[in-house]
Amino acid sequence: MTVTEEKGTISIHTENIFPIIKKFLYSDHEIFLRELVSNAIDAVQKLKRLSSLGEYSGELGELKVKVSFDEAAKTITVSDNGIGMTADEIKKYINQIAFSGAKEFLEKYKDAGEGNQIIGNFGLGFYSAFMVAERVEIQTLSFREGAQAARWASEGNTEFEITKGERTERGTDIILHVAEDSKEFLDKFRLENILKKYSRFMPVAIEFDGKVINNTAPIWAKSPNDLKDEDYLAFYKELYPFSEDPLFWIHLNVDYPFNLTGVLYFPKLKNDLSLHREKIQLYSRQVFITDEVKDIVPEFLMLLHGVIDSPDIPLNVSRSYLQADSNVKKINTHITKKVADKLSELFKADRKGFEEKFDDIGLFIKYGMVADDKFYEKAKDFVLVKNTDNQYATIEEYRQKVEPVQTDKEGSVVMLYTTDPGKQDTFIQSAKKRGYDVLQLNGILDSHFINTLESKFEKVSLKRVDSDTIDKLINKEETISGILNDEEKKNLKEWFEQTLNDKNLSISVSPLPTDELPVTITLPEFMRRMQDMAKTGGNPMFGSFPTTYQVTINENHTLTQEILKADEAKRGQLIRHVYDLALLSQNLLSGSHLTSFIQRTLDLTK
């Protein structure tokens, strides 16, 4: 195994791959360091394996990778004491394999066509060194007995040279002679930052500037049995130093049919979902790949934090391809199932604790239910609803609870809800007086959640408590009799129309219980829903429909009798007054209307 000097031409057909690669990976030049450090780590781990298999009997020594730079000489060096290479191996692995990776990249690029984005983290391996170096040199000594040190150098074109090398100890130095336009990398902070970004959890010690920069045994690579809560919390702090503690976490550990490890944390969700996105980091065998996991992790799971590590996620392809990849799909399904199982387990093991956490995790669960049918199937048994007395129930528990009182004449269970207990109090109280229960559904996703529930639960509908008068809210067989004749009703309706003079009001006279307000203003459920959906991403056209409020005059109320009896002047005053009371009960009375209401009230008590 002696090194014979050689010059040669690397066998690829395209002479000018390099400028193309350089151009298209422009924004990601820094990954050269990830690739070279990964190779160095592979070389160390291969040696460890050979040693444990008994194929290498020499001393292992302190296995490590060292990154250094020399500003004056304009070099960056990645050294390892791994298996090294013989001259023949350089020819095989570097000349053929490394450069064929580059060729493959070019072919993929051609296939993808101009407009198609190629994912930045294409594993270009060794060749990526040429994104920052005008010349790359390898000094290496193989672990094999009697091996001779070898040196390889190339300028990134298709020519290379191999000569005798200088290394006296087992391992490899990759020396980059940094190009003029990449001098920014000859900087301690820059290099340290890149190393921390990509190599923070790589499995072999990496030394830079006199210290080890990585944690070689992050918790996701350990067995859950060996870990305590403190370990998970400490790791969370390590990942997100300024965040509040997470609520709980899931340790992923799959060998078959794909390889996946990781820890996913449930953060305390704030109503602004965008704050929580893009926090999952994707690794491949402890090498950081990306924190843009958009197409790898289902949308709703992106609210989770933590780490996913899988060598089975293809990274060297375009994003549209990634979504269709069968491993990615399996991984998605698996994670979704694990997350649902964990929540179900928490619910069953500690219902009270689950209820206490529900305000923080409810948003996440509902998001999952709206977005993913499989998740819905599991979550429907543990998702909770909370009523205005702050009591929690599952959907089924709640359905059973309200069924006796809140079933309408079609046999549908009508669940009532409020989006604002303060503003809708009058309506809540009148519902409660009739023995109805009212849910609080005021989260940002609740309008979608309500639609999902209605589409999945047969004979269940949800209505906002102020969407109709109490008799029609839950339309039962029983009718309340009215005390007015047709003539009186007709007059009332006309007087109201003339006095209020607003074409957005649809006025009617109805028999309501005497303890209801004389006038009730409601916005029908369907109309409000169309508006809500338009606000949160539905068809915006619905939002521009004119809003018609229903104004219902309670013919059984004593004040209505007063209106009928009053002279014209008093009648106008009373009509405005009962209408203002209706507005007031919904917190809708403001400005000059409020001022004249106060004045009128004072006049009345004179």
Ligand X SMILES: Nc1ncnc2c1ncn2[C@@H]1O[C@H](COP(=O)(O)OP(=O)(O)OP(=O)(O)O)[C@@H](O)[C@H]1O
Q: Which residues bind ligand X (CB under 6 A)?
A: 35, 39-40, 43, 80, 82-83, 85, 93-94, 97-98, 101, 123, 125-127, 172
- Closer to ligand X at the Cβ: 127 or 376? 127
- Closer to ligand X at the Cβ: 32 or 449? 32
Reduced to 3 states, what is the DSSP secondary structure of residue 549? strand
Minimum Å gap between C-beta 64 and ligand X is: 13
Token reading at 336: 């979704």
Cβ neighbours, 10 Å, residue 26: 10
What DSSP letter does each residue of 465-477 carry, written as one string? TTSS-HHHHTT-S
- Residue reference for tokens 């998001």: 367
Minimum Å gap between C-beta 142 and ligand X is: 9
**CA–CA separation, 264 and 249 (whole Å):** 5
8 A C-beta contact, residue 162 and residue 132:
no
- Closer to ligand X at the Cβ: 287 or 415? 287
Give the full edge-to-edge strand order of the sheet including 438-440: 392-394, 384-387, 438-440, 413-418, 460-464
**CA–CA separation, 334 and 325 (whole Å):** 14
Minimum Å gap between C-beta 206 and ligand X is: 13
- Closer to ligand X at the Cβ: 11 or 599? 11
> C-alpha angle with apex 503: 498 to 506, nearest 5 degrees?
85
Minimum Å gap between C-beta 92 and ligand X is: 8
Minimum Å gap between C-beta 372 and ligand X is: 33
What's the residue count for the chain? Answer: 606
- Closer to ligand X at the Cβ: 133 or 473? 133
- Closer to ligand X at the Cβ: 127 or 579? 127
Minimum Å gap between C-beta 316 and ligand X is: 8
**CA nearest to 503, candidates 546, 543, 468:** 546
**CA nearest to 99, candidates 124, 122, 131, 136:** 124
Amino acid present at 310 = S
Minimum Å gap between C-beta 125 and ligand X is: 2
Minimum Å gap between C-beta 202 and ligand X is: 13
| HSE-up of residue 349 (Cα within 13 Å, Cβ side) | 6
Which H or E run includes 251?
strand 248-254
- Closer to ligand X at the Cβ: 289 or 301? 289
8 A C-beta contact, residue 174 and residue 132:
no
**CA–CA separation, 326 and 422 (whole Å):** 50
- Closer to ligand X at the Cβ: 284 or 447? 284
- Residue reference for tokens 């390898």: 138
**CA nearest to 379, candidates 370, 388, 389:** 370
- Closer to ligand X at the Cβ: 139 or 406? 139
Minimum Å gap between C-beta 195 and ligand X is: 16
**CA–CA separation, 271 and 537 (whole Å):** 16
Q: How many distinct helices (H) and strands (E) make up the chain? A: 20, 22
- Closer to ligand X at the Cβ: 6 or 345? 6
Minimum Å gap between C-beta 79 and ligand X is: 8
- Closer to ligand X at the Cβ: 80 or 555? 80
**CA–CA separation, 248 and 226 (whole Å):** 17
Question: Closest CB to ligand X belongs to which residue?
Answer: 125
Minimum Å gap between C-beta 30 and ligand X is: 15
**CA–CA separation, 303 and 312 (whole Å):** 23
Which residue(s) pair with 295 in the sheet?
none
**CA–CA separation, 542 and 254 (whole Å):** 46
